[in-house]
Amino acid sequence: MKSIDLRHRLAAVLLAMCLVVCCALPAFATSANIVLGRLGSLHVRLYDTHNDVPLRGGELTLYQVASVKRTNGNLYFDYTGDFTGCGVVLGDLSDSTLADQLVKYLPAVPAIAAQQDVNEEGYANITKLPQGLYLVVQTEASHGYEAIKPFLVSIPLPDGDNWIYDVDATPKVGATIPETPDTPDTPDVPDTPPDTPDTPDLPEQPDTPDTPVSPGTPDNPVSPDSPDNPVSPENPDNPVSPSNPDKPVLPQTGQLNWPVPVLACSGVLLFAAGWVLNRQGKKEN
C-alpha cells in the first residue's frame, strides 16, 4: 500500500513539472525571438460599426507608460517618465480600468510620445515608436461622437512565438452626439419703417343733375303784355336836341311853370284874410 501511494505522489510531481516546463517554453521562445531596439508603429482606426461609417476628425495622443526590459532572458515592463513610481500593477493589459487608473497619473503638462490627427477614413497612423507600453488617449473627439475611452497598447505585441511590431487597433468608438441645428440669423431690422402707402383718391362725386323745370312754368316767363322796358312810341329813348347833341334835353311833358307863383301868392292872401277875420271875431266877443 505504501509503495502504491509513493508511486502516485511521484506521478503527480512529474506531471506538475511537465506543466511548468510547457508553460515556460513559449515565454522563453518569445523572449528569444524579440529584436530589442527595433522601432514599431501603431495604426488606429475609429469606425462606427453600428452605422457603418468611419469617424472623421479628432486627435489621438500617446503617452509612454513603460519601456521593455529583459533580465536573465525574462521580459518585463519598466515604468518610465511621468509614470515612474505610480504603483499601478500591470496585469491584464486589456482591462479598461487599468488605463483609467494610469490616466489619473498624467500631470498637467505630460510628456507626449506622439500625436496624430484622425483622417477622413477614420485612421490615425503613428510610426517610429520605441518599444514599450503606451497609453492612448483621444484628446480631441471626432465630429459627432464622444471621445473614445483610453486604452493600453504594447509595442511590439506578442503573437504566440512571434512579435508584431506594426500593431493595428480598433477601439470601441464613443456614443454619437446629436447635432444641434444652427440658430437662424436674426433678420435685419429696417432702419426706417416702410413707407405708408398713399391714400387712394376718392371717386369724384357725380354732378348734381339740374333741377327739372316744370313744363308749365318756363324760366322767367315774360308777359306778352309787358315787354322788358317798353319804349313809348310818342317818346323815344333819350332824344337828343339837334342844337346840342352832346347834352340831351329832357322831353317836354306838357307841364307849365307860370301857375306855380300865382298859386303861392293866392295861398298867402287867403291865409292873411282868414287870420284878420279871426282876430275881429275874438274882439267882438
Q: What is the mean pLDDT of the chain?
A: 77
Give the whole-angstrom CA distance, residue 145 versus residue 148.
9
Of residues 51 and 28, the one with the higher pLDDT is 51
> What pLDDT is recorded for position 13?
43
Q: Write the DSSP assignment of 103-152 as a string of letters.
A: HTT--SSPPPSEEEE--TTSEEEEEEEPSEEEEEEEEEPPTTBPPPPPEE
Domain boundaries, the chain: 26-169
Is the Cβ–Cβ distance between 249 and 241 less than 8 Å? Answer: yes
> What pLDDT is recorded for position 103?
95
What the block records as the C-alpha cell of 100 is 483609467
Record the pTM.
0.54
> What pLDDT is recorded for position 133?
96
Residues of the chain by 3-state class (helix, strand, coil), percent to 5? 25, 25, 55
Express each pLDDT in 254-265 by its tens digit: 555 667 777 778
Phi, psi of 96 (to 5 degrees): -65, -25
Beta bridge partners of 268: none
The CATH architecture one would assign to domain 26-169 is Sandwich (2.60)
Of residues 218 and 193, the one with the higher pLDDT is 193
